Structures are given as C-alpha cells and as structure tokens.
Amino acid sequence: MTEQEMIHCQDPARQVERAVAIMHRLRQPGGCPWDAEQTHESIVSCLIEECYECIDAIRERNWPHLREELGDVLLQVIFHAEMAQENPEAAFGLPEIAQELSEKLVRRHPHVFGEAAVRNTEELLTQWDNIKRKEHAIEEKPYLHGCGKGLPALLQAYKLTKKVAKVGFDWPDHAGVLDKIREETREVAETLPLPDEHPQVAEELGDLLFTIVNLCRRRHIDPELALDAANRKFIRRFNTVESTLKQQGISLTAATPEQMEAAWQSAKSAEHTPET
C-alpha cells in the first residue's frame, strides 16, 4: 500500500499505521509548516497539556471525550517518534518504541511470563522496583535516586513516601501521622508573626503538606485525586454562592463577608454533605 493509500485507509486494524503515515506526510516538504518546524523541546508543553486533558476526561467519566484525548496523547507519541526517526543520532520510530515497551513488560512481569511467584500486590511492587533498579544499574546509587523526577511536587511527595514505606520507613499507625500533622500545624502557627518572605514560612507549610500526603498514602487515597475533588467541590459551592447573591441583587464585589458566609453555609446545607 502506498503512503497516499495508507493516509486514506479505513481498515480498523491499520489505523495506527495510518496515523504514522499522516504524521510523516505532515513533516515532509509540502506538508504542514507548523508541524515541520517543531522539535522535541518545542512540543513538550503540548504533551503535558494533552496528558492533563486526558486525566480530566477520566475524572469526568466522559468516555467519548476520553477517546478523543487518548488520541491526542497518542499523537504526541507518534510526533516524537517521527522526529526521532528523522534524527540520525536517534534513528528509532514507533516500531522500536513498541518493541522496547513489550520487552520491558515481559521482563518486569516474571510472575506472568516467567517462573517467579508473588503472594500479593505488595510483593509484586517490590519485585517491580528491584527489577527496575537492576535495569537502570542503580543498585549502588541512593535508594531514592530519580524517584518521581519531573513530577509535580504533590505527586512526587506521594511517590517518595510510598517508596520509603516499602523498606519500613513509616509510622506504625495512622494516629502517628495525625500527631505529626498536629505538630507541623503548631509549627506553622509559630510562623504567623513572621513576614511572608521569611524562609521558615514556606518551609513549615511545605512540611505540613508533605505530612498530609503521608496520611493520604496510608489511607490509600491519591492526594492528587483528593485535592482535585476538593477543588471541584469548592468551585461547585462557590458557583452556588455567586448565584444566591445574584438572586438577592448582590454582586460578589459588593457582598460583605457575612453575606458570603451565609450563602456558603446555605450551599453546603443544600448538598447534604458532611461539614468541612
């Protein structure tokens, strides 16, 4: 099949090949000037944005939108693969990417494709971590070497605490973490007289956030998802506050703190949710 025929191919089994052919054409002379000008570095922000939009579709449980957003994520992979294939120093494309992925999946699942045996998820994750450290020749490097590198701080904190917990560096129970949160809260309170720019203010607030992430981990709650749910709840309730005030002929800028608080409490009561 020629490239032109592949670009217009409707065979469901060959749609990944079709997408690769389309991207190849876009990067060629006479293709799309914007696509042709891009580099790995220039589209990093696109990759990040598409991942977050995909995550948003998952959280909204919007399956048609998820299908579209997963396609956009796949586009980024195909885009980077096409550029790597053009680069003599890289010289790999989507087939090589898929091959390396497949070999890694088989290698890291010896309990499925080999003779290894694991009794539970905890042992499975420990096995995965050990295999990964051997693959990257980091057995002699610090245990936290590269852990969560490049992740947003909240997600990295979650990953760091999960990893050290695997080797027993953890509180014996939930109450211990809660005591630590109280301790960190007291230390934050002690910084209140300090100016905002004082380094201790940011340090103590960071310690408090880090400890809260630990409690999330122990309760098997993803802190990113928990914070996202809190954000969505806040937006929903504040929208109700704004609507309530508007019905009373009061704008947000004109409302008093007492009026806002009354509208907020009303919004909470209307949802029949536990007070937070």
pLDDT in tens, 77-132: 999 999 999 999 999 999 999 999 999 999 999 999 988 888 888 888 888 888 88
Tell me, yes or no, whether 83 and 54 share the same domain: yes
Same domain, 10 and 95: yes
Look at the chain and report how many structural domains it folds into.
Answer: 4
Question: What's the CATH number where 55 sits?
Answer: 1.10.287.1080
Asked whether residue 146 is assigned to any structural domain, the reply reads: yes
Domain containing 164: what range? 142-221
Same domain, residue pair 133 and 46: no
Q: Is residue 138 over pLDDT 80?
A: no
Cα-Cα end-to-end distance for the chain: 62
- Same-domain check for residues 195 and 248: no
Residue 167 pLDDT level (bands cut at 50, 70, 90): confident
pLDDT of res. 59 = 86
Question: In the predicted model, what is the mean pLDDT of residues 222-250?
Answer: 93
Indicate whether 43 belongs to any domain. yes
> Is residue 65 included in any domain, yes or no?
yes
Whether residue 132 is found in the same domain as residue 148: no
Q: Point out the domain boundary residue: 81, 99, 117.
A: 99
pLDDT at 171: 94
User: 267 lies in a domain?
Assistant: yes
Instruction: Tell me, yes or no, whether 191 and 151 share the same domain.
Output: yes
Specify if 20 maps to a domain: yes
> What CA–CA distances, in Å, run from 209 to 131, 171, 181, 198, 231?
31, 16, 9, 18, 16
Is 276 a member of any domain?
no
What is the average pLDDT score of the chain?
A: 92
pTM: 0.65
pLDDT score recorded for residue 125: 81
More confident residue, 275 or 170: 170
Q: Same domain for 173 and 234?
A: no
CA atoms of 185 and 170, how far apart (whole Å): 20
Spell out where 89-198 has E strands. Answer: none
Using the 3D structure, point to which of 65, 99, 133 is the last residue of a domain: 99
Of the listed ranges 58-62, 160-164, 271-275, the one predicted with least confidence:
271-275
Any long-range contacts for 257-263 (C-beta under 8 Å, 24+ apart)? none
